[in-house]
Amino acid sequence: MPIYNAPVKDLQFVLHDLLKVSEQDIPGFEDLDPEFTGAVIEEAGRVASEVLAPLNMVGDVEGCVLEDGVVRTPTGFKDALKVMKDGGWTAMDCDPEYGGQGLPYVMHTAAQELMVSANMAFQMYQGLTHGAYSAIHVHGSDAQKQKFLPKMVTCEWTGTMNLTEPHCGTDLGLMRTKAVPQDDGSYKITGQKIFISAGDHDMADNIIHLVLARIPGGPDGIKGVSLFIVPKIIVNDDGSLGDRNGVSVGKIEAKMGIHGNSTCVMNYDDAEGYMIGEMHKGMRAMFVMMNEARLGVGLQGYAQAEVAYQNAVVYANDRLQGRAVTGVENPDGPADPLIVHPDIRRNLMDQKSFVEGARALILWGTYLIDRAHKNDDADADGLITLLTPVMKGFLTDKGFEYATAAQQVYGGHGYIEESGMSQFARDARIAMIYEGANGVQALDLVGRKLAQDGGKHVMAFFEMVKTFIKDNEGNAALKADFLDPLKAASKDMQAAGMYFMQNGVKNPNHALAGSYDFMHMMGHVCLGLMWARMGKAAMDALEAGASDKDFYETKIATGRYYMARQLPATAMHLARINTGADTVMALEASQF
Amino acid sequence: MPIYNAPVKDLQFVLHDLLKVSEQDIPGFEDLDPEFTGAVIEEAGRVASEVLAPLNMVGDVEGCVLEDGVVRTPTGFKDALKVMKDGGWTAMDCDPEYGGQGLPYVMHTAAQELMVSANMAFQMYQGLTHGAYSAIHVHGSDAQKQKFLPKMVTCEWTGTMNLTEPHCGTDLGLMRTKAVPQDDGSYKITGQKIFISAGDHDMADNIIHLVLARIPGGPDGIKGVSLFIVPKIIVNDDGSLGDRNGVSVGKIEAKMGIHGNSTCVMNYDDAEGYMIGEMHKGMRAMFVMMNEARLGVGLQGYAQAEVAYQNAVVYANDRLQGRAVTGVENPDGPADPLIVHPDIRRNLMDQKSFVEGARALILWGTYLIDRAHKNDDADADGLITLLTPVMKGFLTDKGFEYATAAQQVYGGHGYIEESGMSQFARDARIAMIYEGANGVQALDLVGRKLAQDGGKHVMAFFEMVKTFIKDNEGNAALKADFLDPLKAASKDMQAAGMYFMQNGVKNPNHALAGSYDFMHMMGHVCLGLMWARMGKAAMDALEAGASDKDFYETKIATGRYYMARQLPATAMHLARINTGADTVMALEASQF
């Protein structure tokens, strides 16, 4: 069975050496000293390794089963959710008014990584509940909040998000599900939603569906879509559970992965629902959930790569095959371990340097969210809005790529389900698709985010990179290995932005044909920035006489690898972008 | 259910416009006129689309089942193999002396593509039989050939190759299976082999296992390994079937894909075997099978990408989602088809330009094999020996990448098994692993093939590229779009070779740390060369007044895309290679 160990030191390094969370002037951050965060991460890691990880393959093999209209989750999932509730892991950053612990989002995210690495399909039940909680928390009425949030904070009731219909996913303006107003102010919801993660299951007393639907007579397209709370079981005014609502499971989808999560076709048949937020402004309310979910999905990408990497390292050290070309390293054994071979190293370093950079990026992103929300910081908000599609698109593409690369280390054994390596890749695959397929993220980035507020946020991003380089140019150790590659990559990105500006006006396809490459290019610059900062942080720690020299030296060496071997990708992306739309759009549809 | 249509025109284009097969001075090629090859490909395509493709998902869902020691194949497989036998599809290039049709290998390969696209797991039963046939044909005694080949040519008896053991795959010198000589000249084989594709099944009267084993008292390591024929059922001298041999199935592996193929643990327990080829030179005999198998696996890579691409095109034309940014294209519908969006185009063009380039490369490769074998052409043999690891490694990496990219076009629907898109990706995944994991291909290329015969073959490859560029420099249409990018990519590759020469002597890790990048770089140069040649062939056809203008123009536009958007990858690979081993080997094993 695959192993999983919480990367406690790495998380602590990001929180304290890199982000210096306890020194930030953000309400609540003053409590995040290393002792406290270390204790939380250690304990979350224990739950992840001991409770959730052992159920990961169980979930994959058993999957979810629909029996007599009820979804049965895999063996052990119900008990595990109880452990999560009892430990308070479902409520870390939730509002204390509804039973949460009110910790910063960055702290919640650090703990989430561990749960997602250990068992992504399981953790989705909680993740979706958290998203639904957030949407109600921001847009719900007081009565709605009082009625639903306390039970959702504990996962006694779980949540879902219902957007997709059989004929529309990305283009939600085509939606058909309707919501007919009733005399008592409620609505009757009728329609079919598909791909509903955690749509039904046997682990909670109730399920609170957030459903997008169209009120008849409203505007066409996306501007006529409103958001509704539709509980599986009607909640009486005294909080007790009443009748079954008109919600049922059509079927469970057979999927490539995340078998442990019940992905349902949900049928709404005159189901009672309550509008949340403003009429016809459902997408605005849903976006609270979706932006949060997109960072969470970016996290899934690198969290799967992390657990896959850990297992690849074990295998590379255990498996004896061939001899080091520079001389025998295991003379007493019949062969040397795989890890002596340069191409195995190359593969493992690709994985390691990605995962650690991605972790820094996501935690920095959630720190920006904390800053935006708690300090009303518009700059932080603008920056995370810009970066969200990059974090989602780039980290999930690479997360899948490296989960697959980790599987490759196992050779034939990686293709056998028993190794667990296939599951990591299959589970990671969905992250490139849901919450907006990665092509849509690229479109969002280039077609919308770059130009938002007159391009202010992307300019601020470039400025941030430039300032960091300038401020540290005197540091010779940092300059050659970190700052120079970062500068080159950032220049490539600026050149691409220039190309878009100069050519996109004439023909927007010249920009959009390069959108995917731009998303990846910006991802590399982001990880390059994270590594330059981490390199500096590690050098600072060594200079200050840190006791764990080996840890910091490893960090610097890993960063050097990323800068030397991954950042050159930006030049390739720029070359592709600079060819514009001509070859991309050359064919007629019939010529494919 | 997924569709599959044989790319008849594309195959004909490669055979006739590119390779000009019927004009070649190779025995047997004179019969390969367009009418003949067209008729064969059309008919093979019919079998592939109508018989094999409908069983692809059946194989995936049902898989193979071990019951009472016997493997049951999925519904319909047995009948389909009968169709293959009756149609002569199992014997196209086999020796007429043993019932084959004696057609060139290139023709066999063109037909194979169709079968592999339609149903890879099914086609492996025949593919492995063909490999075992070849090994016996080259290294077997006359008596062995007479006894086994006629039935293998028809797939009445199928074949397997048994190399891997639980503790060794790549490093076969560690092998433990032993072969004890008997008084009658036979051997008793005892040991366990794993990952044996088509190891057992219910579709043939007998299974002829080729098994590597060690004769006690022989040299240690790989130099003490010999190859044996071990039939599942003993074949009497009169050709009738006798007793069950000491071969049994331990279990069937649960795999990520190719469920329709029975991947078995095979137990040999004093099984009767007959040595083939020379004692202790089993690897030499097995390599006949392995080199052929490596090209076949490269073919699997692009063949899976081809069928996935075909389905992605259908979906991109059917699925209505969003509007073209340059103006509505489907005013009567609720939205435009996906194919209007530049990023969908980018994705489809990536797939299309890869698959068509890969097809040309593999067919050129098999043409080289024909030339090497039938004309005793040492240059052709040297070239295909050099290119084999590139064809295996690059085409399977990219084949999986693009099968996954095709899945992405489907959005959420691609993650649902019902669409069939997941299966294409899962099936394609194994091609990166078996017949030597792609890291081993890269090692073979850089550690062995580049320097073979004093570097003669790689120099010949560069010379071929250079000559093509020089010969066509006067062609303005070809120069800017095809020759200049090819020249740049080829220069990158030469620079990498130079880096290896200058630094690999000091420390071989400097070369091996860049081996994977070099394999990909060379793959791009190969596809660039193929596209430059195809571009010229298409321009020549247009100039000669070819009637199918649309087809040739599409070919040129697709080639332009590859040259503009894919070849720039070589510069990135060179940048990675030029950093050498320093960052790759920086960590201690304990620091991972």
Q: Which residues of B touch A557 (CB under 8 A)?
A: 583, 586-587, 591
DSSP class of B258: -
pLDDT at A286 over 90: no
Q: Is A417 designated active site? A: no
From the list A408, A439, A585, the residue facing B432 with the nearest CB is A408
CATH superfamily of B8-139: Acyl-CoA dehydrogenase/oxidase, N-terminal domain (1.10.540.10)
Report d(CA A458, CA A262) in Å as an integer: 39
Confidence of residue A270 (pLDDT cuts 50, 70, 90): very high
Best to test chain B binding among A163, A263, A415, A591 (most B CBs inside 10 Å): A415
Which pairs with CB-CB distance under 8 Å and at least 24 residues apart come from A133-137?
A133/A94, A133/A159, A134/A288, A134/A289, A134/A292, A135/A161, A135/A210, A135/A227, A135/A276, A135/A285, A135/A286, A135/A288, A135/A289, A136/A208, A136/A210, A136/A229, A136/A276, A137/A94, A137/A95, A137/A98
For residue B54, give the amino acid letter: P
Instruction: Kindly report the number of other CB atoms within 10 A of residue A3's CB atom.
Output: 12
Report d(CA B47, CA A209) in Å as an integer: 48
**Mean pLDDT computed over B525-554:** 98
pLDDT at B316 over 90: yes
**Mean pLDDT computed over A432-446:** 97
For A348-394, what is each residue's pLDDT tens digit? Answer: 999 999 999 999 999 999 999 999 999 999 999 999 999 999 999 99
Best to test chain A binding among B163, B256, B310 (most A CBs inside 10 Å): B256
pLDDT at B287 over 90: no
Q: How far is residue B322 from each of residues A167, A291, B338, measured CA to CA in Å?
A: 12, 20, 7
From the list B174, B256, B349, the residue facing A415 with the nearest CB is B256
Cβ atoms B121, B260 nearer than 8 A: yes
For B429-460, what is each residue's pLDDT tens digit? Answer: 999 999 999 999 999 999 999 999 999 999 99
With an 8 Å Cβ cutoff, is A518 touching chain B? no
pLDDT of residue B545: 97
For B162-215, what is each residue's pLDDT tens digit? Answer: 999 999 988 989 999 999 999 999 999 999 999 999 999 999 999 999 999 999
Cβ atoms B276, B285 nearer than 8 A: yes
> A310: distance to nearest CA of chain B, Å?
8
Q: Which residues of B touch A348 (CB under 8 A)?
A: 592
- Mean pLDDT computed over every residue of chain B: 97
Report d(CA A265, CA A251) in Å as an integer: 5
Of A253-262, A284-293, A532-541, the range with the lowest mean pLDDT is: A284-293
In the set A253, A435, A463, A588, the catalytic residue is A435
Contact between B415 and A408 using a beta-carbon 8 Å cutoff = no
pLDDT of residue B534: 98
**Mean pLDDT computed over A1-16:** 97
> A155: distance to nearest CA of chain B, Å?
26
Residue % of chain A over a pLDDT of 70:
100
Domain B158-281 classification at class level: mainly beta
Nearest chain B alpha carbon to A571: B572
Q: Which residues of B touch A341 (CB under 8 A)?
A: 439, 443, 512
> A476: distance to nearest CA of chain B, Å?
18
pLDDT of residue A291: 78
For B131-165, what is each residue's pLDDT tens digit? Answer: 999 999 999 999 999 999 999 999 999 999 999 99
Q: Which residues of B touch A576 (CB under 8 A)?
A: 564-565, 568
For B53-96, what is each residue's pLDDT tens digit? Answer: 999 999 999 999 999 988 999 999 999 999 999 999 999 999 99
With an 8 Å Cβ cutoff, is B5 touching chain A? no
pLDDT at B41 over 90: yes
With an 8 Å Cβ cutoff, is B508 touching chain A? yes
Nearest chain B alpha carbon to A552: B591
**Mean pLDDT computed over A475-492:** 97
Q: CB under 8 Å to B498, separation ≥6 — which residues? A: none
For A15-64, what is each residue's pLDDT tens digit? Answer: 999 999 999 999 999 999 999 999 999 999 999 999 999 999 999 999 99
Q: Which residues of A touch B341 (CB under 8 A)?
A: 439, 443, 512
> B387: distance to nearest CA of chain A, Å?
19
Q: Which of A170 and A567 is assigned the larger pLDDT?
A: A567
Contact between B515 and A164 using a beta-carbon 8 Å cutoff = no
Q: Using CB atoms and an 8 Å cut-off, which of residues 229-288 of chain A contact chain B?
A: 253-257
Instruction: Kindly report the number of other CB atoms within 10 A of residue A239's CB atom.
Output: 11
Contact between B174 and A320 using a beta-carbon 8 Å cutoff = yes
Residue % of chain B over a pLDDT of 70:
100
The C-alpha angle with vertex B447 and arms to B444 and B451, in degrees rounded to 5, equals 105
pLDDT of residue B136: 96
pLDDT at B289 over 80: no
Q: CB under 8 Å to B332, separation ≥6 — which residues? A: none
pLDDT of residue A13: 98
**Mean pLDDT computed over B546-570:** 98
> B345: distance to nearest CA of chain A, Å?
6
Confidence of residue A229 (pLDDT cuts 50, 70, 90): very high
With an 8 Å Cβ cutoff, is B515 touching chain A? yes
With an 8 Å Cβ cutoff, is A460 touching chain B? no
pLDDT of residue B296: 96
Cβ atoms A350, A408 nearer than 8 A: no
From the list A326, A434, A592, the residue facing B509 with the nearest CB is A326
Contact between B412 and A557 using a beta-carbon 8 Å cutoff = no
With an 8 Å Cβ cutoff, is A412 touching chain B? yes
Contacts A–B by Cβ distance under 8 A: 260
Q: Which residues of A touch B484 (CB under 8 A)?
A: none
- Mean pLDDT computed over every residue of chain A: 97
What radius of gyration, in Å, describes the C-alpha atoms of chain A?
A: 24
Q: Residue B61: which H helix or E strand, with range?
A: helix B56-62
Q: Using CB atoms and an 8 Å cut-off, which of residues 75-134 of chain A contact chain B?
A: none
Nearest chain B alpha carbon to A326: B508
Contact between A313 and B509 using a beta-carbon 8 Å cutoff = no
With an 8 Å Cβ cutoff, is A480 touching chain B? no
Contact between A575 and B568 using a beta-carbon 8 Å cutoff = yes
Instruction: Tokens 């401020």: give the residue.
Output: A471
Q: Which two tokens stand for residue B264?
A: 């078995």
pLDDT at B284 over 90: no
0.90 exceeded by pTM: yes
Q: CB under 8 Å to A23, separation ≥6 — which residues? A: none
Contact between B583 and A257 using a beta-carbon 8 Å cutoff = no
Closest to A182 (Cα-Cα) out of A216, A209, A156, A210: A216
Give the residue extent of every domain in chain A. 8-139, 158-281, 441-586
